[in-house]
Amino acid sequence: MVAHKDAAALALARLRRNGSLPAVGLHLVEAEERARQSGRQIILIGGDNGPPLAVLGWQGTEPAASPHPPRLARRVLSPRATKALVIVHALLTDPQASLNTVTTEQVLTAIELLTSKSGQTWAIPALHQDLPQAGLIAPQSGGWAPGPRMQAWDPSTRDVMAHAARQLWEHPAWPGIRDA
Amino acid sequence: MTASELLLGLGYRRAVTSAADADPTPLPRSRHSFRGSQASHAAAVLGITLREAGALDCSDEEIAAATDICRALADLDPRGEGVATRKLFERLEGRYPRPMLENRLVALMKAGSVEKDREVINEQDVRLTLSGSLSLILVPWISTMSGQRALLEMLSRAQARAASPDAAADDVRADLAELRRVLSTFANELRRIIDGRKTAEMIQYARDADDRELRSRIAGLKDIVVHRFADELIDDLERLGVACDWYLIQQLRLLKQLSATRGTRGHWVRSDEVHEVMRTADPAHLAALWDGIAFDEAPVWVNPEAVLRALSELTSISTDDPVPEPGAPGAESAAEPDPREILRELAERLLDGADQRDLTEAFLTLPWPSPAVLLARLSVLAGLDIGYALSYPGHLAMRASETTARVATGVILRRALASSHGGTSAEGSIAW
C-alpha cells in the first residue's frame, strides 16, 4: 500500500517536472486525487498517433503572474516565441485549411505575408526550440502538431488564442493555405 | 476609603501581585520552543495544570516510543506480573534506538506510568500502572485533537446532557457557555490564520473542518434546549448563536480563500514558514502547498497580454517612411499668389517706373535685417530671368553714425530682357 502511494507521488512529481507523461503505467487515480487537492487536474489527451498522454493542467483558470504583492513569478514565452505560437495556432485551427500539422515553411510564409518581412531569424528558433520545449507544439510527420500543453490549455487561454486566430483569419494578408 | 477599597467593595478584584507593594510578575517573553509538535500541542492543552511547560518537551518520536512502551507492556503482560526490561527492549529495538527506549522508560517510571514489579535492588521487571494505561488513550487523543473534533465532542456531550431526563438547567447552561467560549476562541484563531496567510495551517483547518456537520449539530442542540428549557436558557442560546455565526463566517472565509485561488496557494507561503513546512509536511501536503508555482519548474504560462501584443504586431499595417508624391495644382495652390508676382511687385515698387535704380543708399539706411532680406529676394528675382537683373558696380558705400558704421556693397536693380527659357508664365516672356 505504501509502495503504491509512493508510486503515485512519484508519478505526480514527474508530471510536475515534465508537464506530460505517457498515461500507461501511471497511478492515475491516486495522482489525480492528490492533484485535485492543490487545484490541479490531470488531463488525458491524444491516443490517435501514439499512447495517451497525461498532462498536469489546472482546475479553472491558470494563475496569472503578478508583479505586485502577493508576487507570483511565472515562466513566460519570449515575445517572438509568442508571435510564432499565435501563427502556428491560427494555422492549425483555420477552418478553411483543416491542417493537422503545419510546416516551418507555412509559418514563415504566413509571417512574410502578414508583416512583409522575413521571420526566419526569430521564428525558426521559436519553432525548433522554445515551443517544443514548452510542450506547446510537437514534431509530427515533418511538421508541427499541437503539443500536450496546447491540448490541455485552460478555457481562458483557449479563448484568447481563439480570438487571436480569428483576427488573423480575417486579415486580408492571411494566407489561403489548403491541405494538399 | 481609598479607590481600590471602594472597587473591592463593589465586587472588583485586586490585580494579582506577588506581594502587596511588588510589581506584577512579568510574563515570559515567548512560549517554550518545543522539539515536537505533538508535545507542544499537549503541553498547551495541559498548560492549565502545568508548572513548567518545558518539562513536557520531547520529540514526536520520543512520544511515539513512550506510547509503544506502554502498549508493549500491556501486550506482553496481560496479568500484570511484570516484564523483563530486556524483553521489552528486544521487542521495540527495531523501531527505536536503545538509548531512547531507556530514556523514555526512566521518564515513564518517574511519572508513575510504569513501575517496578517489586521494590528490590537489581529488579528489572516492570509493569504498566493504571495511569500508564490511561495515557494510551489520552496521549494520542490530546496530541492529535483538532479544533473541529473537540467541538464535535463537546457538542455530543452537551446534546446528551440536554436530552437527558435528569438534566438540570444550570448544567446545560454551563455546557452552552463552555461551547460558546470554545467556538469564539476557535473562530478568532481561524481569523488569525486567514489574516496571517498561514498556508500550512489553513490547509490543515480546511481538511479537518466540516461546517455543514457543525451547523447541523448546533441546530440539533438548539432544538433540544428550546424544547426543554426555552424559558430559562433563551439568552444563553442567543449568545451561543452569535458565537456560532462568528465561527462559521471564519470557516466560510477560509474555504473561499482556498477555493478561489487554489493554484496560487504556493505564493502565500511566508518565508519563515517554509522551513517548518518542509520539515514536517507529508508529500501530499507539500504538493498542495507548492504545486507548480513556488519552487519547481512550472510549465510555461501563455500570457494573454503577450498574445494580444503579438497579434497587434502581426496585424498592424507597415508604416515605413512615406515617399512624397509629386505635387499637383489644386484649388488651394491656385488661391495662393504666384511668388514671381510678389517679387515683381517688389521690383516695380523699387524701380518706381524707372529702368534702373541704385539700391546702395537703401541698403545703408533700411533697418536690419531688411537689407539682407531685400537683397535675397532680388537675387531670386534676377535668377528667375523674368526681366530684372542686378548689377554690382564694385564700390563699397559706408554710412557712419554716432556709435556704429554700416558698410554696403553697391547694388543696382534694372530692367533686363528675359531669355526664352525664363519663367513659365506668359508674363515671364515679356521683354522690358
What confidence tier does B338 reach under pLDDT thresholds 50, 70, 90? confident
**Among partner residues A38, A75, A135, which is closest to B301 by beta-carbon distance?**
A75
> Contact A131/A84 with Cβ under 8 angstroms?
yes
What does pLDDT average to over chain A?
Answer: 85
Question: Does some domain include residue B175?
Answer: yes
Give all domains of chain A, ordered by start, each with its CATH number. 8-58 (no CATH), 79-169 (1.10.10.1210)
Give the mean pLDDT of A149-165: 90
Give the mean pLDDT of A27-43: 82
Task: Provide, rounded to the nearest whole percent, the portion of chain B with pLDDT above 70.
Answer: 69
Question: Does some domain include residue B420?
Answer: yes
* pLDDT score of A169: 92
* pLDDT score of A107: 95
Taken in order A15, A20, A22, A23, is the CA torsion positive or negative? Answer: positive
Last residue of a domain, one of B142, B166, B198: B142
* pLDDT score of B320: 59
Number of domain units in chain B: 3
How far apart are the C-alpha atoms of B35 and B107, rounded to whole Å? 17
Chain A segment 43-102 residues within 8 A of B by beta carbon are: 56, 58-60, 62-66, 70-72, 74-77, 79, 82-83, 85-87
Burial of B220 (0-12, 13-18, 19+ CB in 10 A): middle
> Contact A59/A36 with Cβ under 8 angstroms?
yes
The residue in chain A having the minimum alpha-carbon distance to the alpha carbon of residue B269 is A70
Closest by Cα among B303, B393, B380 to B343: B380
* Least confident interval from B227-231, B280-284, B295-299, B389-393: B295-299
Question: Does some domain include residue B374?
Answer: yes
Last residue of a domain, one of B232, B260, B288: B260
Which amino acid, one-letter code, is at A23? A
Please report, in angstroms and rounded to a whole number, the separation of the first and last CA atoms in chain B.
Answer: 131
> Contact B100/B65 with Cβ under 8 angstroms?
yes
Does residue B191 share a domain with residue B174?
yes
> Contact B251/A1 with Cβ under 8 angstroms?
no
Does residue B256 share a domain with residue B151?
yes
How far apart are the C-alpha atoms of B30 and B88, rounded to whole Å? 39
Residue B72: CATH number of its domain: 1.10.10.10
Which amino acid, one-letter code, is at B192? R
Q: Where are the beta strands (DSSP E) in B195-305?
A: none
Does residue B162 share a domain with residue B115?
no
What does pLDDT average to over chain B?
Answer: 75
Give the residue from A20, A37, A56 with the most B CB atoms within 10 Å of its CB, the best one to mutate: A37
Angle at A173 between CA A172 and CA A174, to 5 degrees: 95
Pairing of strands B83-84, B125-128: antiparallel
Last residue of a domain, one of B142, B162, B196: B142
DSSP secondary structure letters along B338-359: PHHHHHHHHHHHHHTTSSEEE-
Does residue B397 share a domain with residue B377?
yes
* pLDDT score of B331: 65
Does residue B181 share a domain with residue B109?
no
What contacts B161, CB < 8 A, 6 or more positions away?
A: B167, B171, B172, B175
Asked if the Cβ–Cβ distance from B263 to A59 is below 8 Å, we say: yes
**Cell numbers given for B393:** 558696380
Closest by Cα among A18, A164, B426 to A174: A164
Does residue B238 share a domain with residue B162?
yes
Does residue B199 share a domain with residue B115?
no
Closest by Cα among A95, A102, A90, A176 to A141: A102
The DSSP element (H or E) to which B398 belongs, if any, is strand B396-400
Question: Does some domain include residue B215?
Answer: yes
Does residue B183 share a domain with residue B83?
no
Burial of B261 (0-12, 13-18, 19+ CB in 10 A): middle
For B122: left if phi > 0, alpha if psi spans -120 to 50, otherwise beta; the answer is left
Which DSSP letter does residue A130 get? I
Predicted confidence (pLDDT) at residue B358 exceeds the cutoff of 90:
no
Which amino acid, one-letter code, is at A86? V
**Cell numbers given for B165:** 431526563
- Name B408's bridge partners: B397
Does residue B149 share a domain with residue B80?
no
The residue in chain B having the minimum alpha-carbon distance to the alpha carbon of residue A38 is B288
Does residue B125 share a domain with residue B158?
no
> Cα torsion at B15, B21, B23, B24 (round to 10°)?
-30
pLDDT tens track for B173-221: 998 998 888 888 888 888 888 877 666 667 666 666 666 777 788 888 8
Does residue B67 share a domain with residue B91?
yes
> Contact A132/A147 with Cβ under 8 angstroms?
yes
Q: Is A14 within 8 Å of chain B by CB?
A: no
* pLDDT score of A28: 84
Predicted confidence (pLDDT) at residue B357 exceeds the cutoff of 80:
yes
DSSP secondary structure letters along B130-174: HHHHHHHHHHHHHHH--HHHHHHHHHHHHHHHHHSTT--HHHHHH
Burial of B138 (0-12, 13-18, 19+ CB in 10 A): middle
Give the mean pLDDT of B372-395: 85
Which DSSP letter does residue B53 get? G
- Name B114's bridge partners: B128
The torsion angles phi and psi of B405, rounded to 5 degrees, stand at: -135, 135
pLDDT tens track for A50-70: 788 999 888 777 777 777 665
The torsion angles phi and psi of A137, rounded to 5 degrees, stand at: -130, 160
Question: Does some domain include residue B356?
Answer: yes
> Contact B70/B112 with Cβ under 8 angstroms?
no
**Among partner residues A63, A111, A153, which is closest to B264 by beta-carbon distance?**
A63
Question: Does some domain include residue B39?
Answer: no
Helix axes B199-208, B147-163, angle to 10 degrees: 30
Task: Provide, rounded to the nearest whole percent, the portion of chain A with pLDDT above 70.
Answer: 90
The torsion angles phi and psi of A56, rounded to 5 degrees, stand at: -85, 110
List the domain range (segments joined by +) for residue B194.
145-260
Q: Is B305 within 8 Å of chain A by CB?
A: no
Question: Does some domain include residue B284?
Answer: no
The residue in chain A having the minimum alpha-carbon distance to the alpha carbon of residue B263 is A39
**Among partner residues A40, A66, A82, which is closest to B310 by beta-carbon distance?**
A82
Q: Is A134 within 8 Å of chain B by CB?
A: yes
Q: Is the peptide bond before A70 cis (omega within 30 degrees of 0)?
A: yes
pLDDT tens track for B65-81: 988 999 999 999 888 88
Tell me the C-alpha to C-alpha distance, in Å, between residue B237 and each of B151, B171, B216, B227, B410: 16, 14, 15, 12, 118
Q: Is B261 within 8 Å of chain A by CB?
A: yes
The DSSP element (H or E) to which B408 belongs, if any, is strand B405-409
> Contact B360/B411 with Cβ under 8 angstroms?
yes
Question: Does some domain include residue B278?
Answer: no
Does residue B254 share a domain with residue B149?
yes
